[in-house]
Structure 1
Amino acid sequence: MSVTIDIAGLPPERIVFAPSPLAELGTALHTLAEPGHHPGAHAWATATNASLKPDLADRLCEADFLWRTTFSDILMGFAGLRDASVQPGATLAEDLDLLDKLDDEEFVTAALEFTCSALYGSESLRSPLTDATQRERSIELASARGPQQRRFTERLLADPPAVRSWVRRLFEDCEQAFFADTWNRVRHQLAADAREKTELLRRRGLAATLEAVSPALSTDKKGSVISADKLASARTTAVDPAVGPGVTFIPSVHTWPHLMVLHRYGWRPVVYYPLTGRELLSTPLSVEQVTLRMEAVAHPLRMRLCRSLARAPYTTSELADLYSVSSPEVSRHLAVLKKAGLITARRHGRYVQYQLDVKVVGRLGSDFLETVLR
């Protein structure tokens, strides 16, 4: 599974690396709403949440579906403008000005994207402002999130300009309350990373640059497709003449372990990648590798084999005797565990001993969590 971006024929100068204050605010808000996703930011999230005034905390709760369970496209609104030269602003105010340029239909559909996930990324995406069925579904799904979310959605559908103004004031109040200090602390680091990746792209090409951005990103030999290894399947294009050619890469301090790809139909694609986090874990595994490991330990006999191999090295025949099964059957199960990288093999004369790689197995939980959150 992967999210792919068609870049065939895209000029290298249309691959842009740039920080975005609004996108960074979005991931900061996500961290505040879901601190369990971001253990490295626990102290910051706790202190910031404790410092919020009750009124601001209540308003954030009302709109938190824009960043808690999904990363709303309005946080990257520049990508929806039909001008390929438009990139994120240098300040939050500039980013919000770009967001204001979206028409009401685009804004509402982007804000309520969780209500149309089945159609997301396709031309069939319908606006709840003009489609009665989509309108009812938007309200129904918002109701499942809570009464505040339902009220927000009903207000947005009834009076988009008023709610858009409310959202802008909310973001501006976040800047005054905590984000101005946060942005001043990270903006130079983000800008430096963007310059570094731009120079790397110029000197060494796309493949090396993508590898430096994230092990989950790659390109084909022709350099015509960018692939993001995620537990999702989607396609988009960076060469749609209707919206202008281009793909933007946005670095973030707060987004780890998430790697987000905006693949909205009719918008230019955006890759939002974490600047930090690699030091917390070994190189992230591919979805295929994680799947192999989870499937390998799911079988009852293989779990029992792991129990023995965690304590000492064993040969195939020893395991067969221990569990009263045939040597060929043990060999088949050991092959599955070995292919998944969960056991090691060492030859002693004519015997081969197998042992569980305890460090690798110990990372299964964090590897799984990093993969599903990616």
Structure 2
Amino acid sequence: MSVDIDISGLRPESVSVVPSPLSELGMALHALSEPGHHPGLQGWVTTVTAGLDPHLADRMCEADFLWRTSHSDLFHPYAGIPGGTALPAATLAEELDQLDQLTDEQFVDAALEFSCALPYGTPGPPMLADPGLRQRALELAAARGPRQLLFTQRLFEDPPRVRAWLRQFLEDCDEAFFAETWSRLRHQLTADARHKTDLLRHKGLTEALAAVSPAVLIDEDGDRITVDKLGRGRTTTAGRSLLLVPTSLGRPHLMVLHRYGWQPLLHYPITSPGPASPLSVEELSRRLAALSHPARMQICRSLARSTFTTSELAQIHGMSPPEISRHVGVLKKAGLITTRRRGRYVLHQMDVTAVARLGSDFLEGILR
């Protein structure tokens, strides 16, 4: 089984490799909803989840079927803009403006993909104009669950209101956790896009696709791309561009947008950087020994949530400052906490990344 993209007559300049903040936000929501798909992101997922506002977490569940099993084509709105040549924008705000450019029919069609299992690679019915089709969609949504049914009802009753809700939700996610994540990821995504673009220019599409994934092949005539997936689909670039959008949070998912009438798009995970050097036995023993003391476990719990001075930790845990200093010294020597000076105060904080490497169960335990 595979997804095929007919690229007959596709000009080299019509292939673009561009990162997308909105697409990456979609993958962030997917990873938060299905952390089991992304074991390499457990530390990040745990940290974000622990700091998430409860109200935002509740809103995240209202329409999580848009990103839980995969992520909706709504996170690639540029692919649906008429003309077939639009590219991802540089900022999330600009891409949300692109989302606003989709017609209500396009928005509804893409939003119902996972709640109603509507036709995908073929022309779909004009859902908003046909009461019979809307009723059928509601029945399909009800079979999926009450949240899908409620979402579909709201979508049919007032598409602009649902669009406004989604935009506001995505903006709130950006403010809560994604802006910081994107500031870290965009540089490596831009570097990967630059590398793939250089391959396109100097070695051709075949070499560039080989660098995207060994599951992406081009036939000998250069007229068809075949993506090896457990699914079937077919689309064409006729009159449109081909988009390659890298993702850092999306590994191991390799996704193909082949919605009828939209630009074909490959959303591919960038090559993950080499794993951090494994700890030596001595370093591992030092960290485990540091965490074996119950008082240090309690200190870790505090420092995982915020920064504290020695005096503040002493007051919180009912110990003297010298006792706290000794425990902090052990944790710092083990590489589990960091310190920084702010004026005349020295602040201690947990190194979440270092702790996550010891195991997600421990990290979740101190963040519980």
TM-score (norm. length: structure 1): 0.71
Alpha-carbon shift at residue 115 of structure 1 (Å): 4.5
Q: 1:9 to 1:278 in 2, by over 3 A?
A: farther
- Give the whole-Å Cα distance in 2 for the aligned partners of 1:28 and 1:171: 11
Inter-partner Cα distance in structure 2 for 1:142 and 1:60: 19
CA distance in 2, matches of 1:37, 1:134: 34
Mapped to 2, the partners of 1:177 and 1:138 lie a distance apart of 34
Alignment partners' CA distance in 1, 2:142 and 2:55: 22
Report % sequence identity. 55
1:153 Cα shift? 1.7
Identify the residue that residue 288 of structure 1 maps to in structure 2.
none
Task: Give the structure 1 partner of residue 139 of structure 2.
Answer: 140
The residue type equivalent to 1:103 in the other structure is T
1:260 aligns with 2:255: yes
Are the equivalent residues in 2 in contact too, given 1:194–1:251 (CA < 8 A)?
yes
Tell me how far apart the structure 2 counterparts of residues 279 and 68 of structure 1 sit (CA, whole Å).
27
The aligned residue for residue 217 of structure 1 is 216
Q: Flag the 1:85–1:120 CA change in 2: closer, same or farther, 3 A.
A: closer
Counterpart Cα distance in 1 of 2:89 and 2:233? 28
What letter matches 1:112 in structure 2?
L
The CA distance in 2 between the partners of 1:266 and 1:29, in whole Å, is 26
Aligned amino acid, residue 14 of structure 2: R
CA shift at 1:83, angstroms? 2.4
Q: Partners in 2 of 1:10 and 1:196 — Cα distance?
A: 21
C-alpha distance in 2 between matches for 1:15 and 1:141: 37
The Cα of 1:69 is off from its aligned counterpart by: 1.8
**Counterpart secondary structure, 2:88:** coil
Q: Does 1:237 align with 2:232?
A: no
Q: Which residue of 2 aligns with 1:273?
A: 268
Match of 2:155? Answer: 156
Could you tell me which residue of structure 2 aligns to residue 83 of structure 1? 83
Residue equivalent to 1:98: 98
How many pairs align?
275
Where 1:129 maps in the other structure, the secondary structure is: helix
Compute the displacement of 1:257 (Å).
Answer: 0.9
- Shift in CA distance, 154/144, structure 1 to aligned 2, threshold 3 Å: same
Q: Hey, what's the Cα distance between the residues in 2 that align with 1:68 and 1:122?
A: 24
Q: Which position in structure 2 is the counterpart of 1:249? A: 244
1:198-250 per-residue CA deviation (whole Å, 9 max, x = no partner) reads 110111111111110101101011111111000011110011x3xxx211000
Q: Does the 8 A contact of 2:84 with 2:262 survive in 1?
A: no
Residue matched to 2:340: none
> Counterpart of 1:265 in structure 2: which amino acid?
Y
Give the secondary-structure state (helix, strand or coil) at the position aligned to 2:141: helix
Instruction: Give ranges in structure 1 of 5+ residues lacking alignment.
Output: 281-374
Task: Say if 1:115 and 1:137, in contact at 8 Å, map to a contact too.
Answer: no
1:278 positional shift:
8.6
**Residue number in structure 1 paired with 2:366:** none
Worse-superposed segment, 138-147 or 198-207 = 138-147
The one-character-per-residue Cα deviations of 1:2-25 (angstroms, maximum 9, x if unpaired) are: 101111101101010000000000
Query: What is the one-letter code of the residue matched to 2:213?
Result: S
Counterpart in the other structure of 1:10: 10
Q: Distance in 2 between matches of 1:79 and 1:6?
A: 16
* Mapping of residues 41-56 of structure 1, within 5 Å: 41-56=41-56
Once the two structures are superposed, the pairs formed by residues 287-298 of structure 1 within 5 Å of their partners are none
Letter in 2 for 1:65: F
Q: Which moved more, 1:83-92 or 1:221-230?
A: 83-92
CA distance in 1, matches of 2:204, 2:45: 37
Name the CA distance, whole Å, in 1 between partners of 2:118 and 2:107: 18
1:304 aligns with: none
Q: TM-score, normalised by structure 2?
A: 0.72
Asked if the contact 1:120–1:264 (Cα under 8 Å) also holds between the matched residues in 2, the reply is yes
Q: Tell me the distance in 1 between the aligned counterparts of 2:125 and 2:168.
A: 27
